[in-house]
Amino acid sequence: MRNYQWGIIGTGDIAHQFVSQFKNNQSSISGVAARNFEKTKAFAQEYSIPSAYETVEELLDNPEIDMVYVAVPNNIHHYYITKSLQKGKHVLCG
């Protein structure tokens, strides 16, 4: 059975809620990206996420990331959803 890899876009409250409740035997969170790289690295460390990306583009360019959770303010959902879909990622938006 394949282990699907998630990427998280954003490190705000909703991202913390998603990651802290994430329990799935067939998936794992393998990367995170946000505007502030210092916060991104801290978020990755807090939740034992293996990769912190400096840019969302780097996360989306990783062929091992199958799907992304878009956890950014509503007014920029469309931008990141569109970018993710253009890169062939499955998208969940919070």
Residue 53 pairs with which residues in a beta bridge?
33
User: The domain that contains 77 carries what CATH number?
Assistant: 3.40.50.720
Give pTM, 2 decimals: 0.94
Give domain status of residue 2, yes or no: no
Residue 28 pairs with which residues in a beta bridge?
5
Token code pair at residue 54: 């400096």
Give domain status of residue 27, yes or no: yes
Angle at 12 between CA 7 and CA 15, to 5 degrees: 40
Boundaries of domain holding 69: 7-93
pLDDT 10s digits, 31-79: 999 999 999 999 999 999 999 999 999 999 999 999 999 999 999 999 9
Question: What is the count of structural domains for the chain?
Answer: 1
Gap between the Cα atoms of 50 and 94, Å rounded: 22
Give domain status of residue 55, yes or no: yes
Listed residue (40, 38, 37, 36) closest to 8, CA to CA: 40
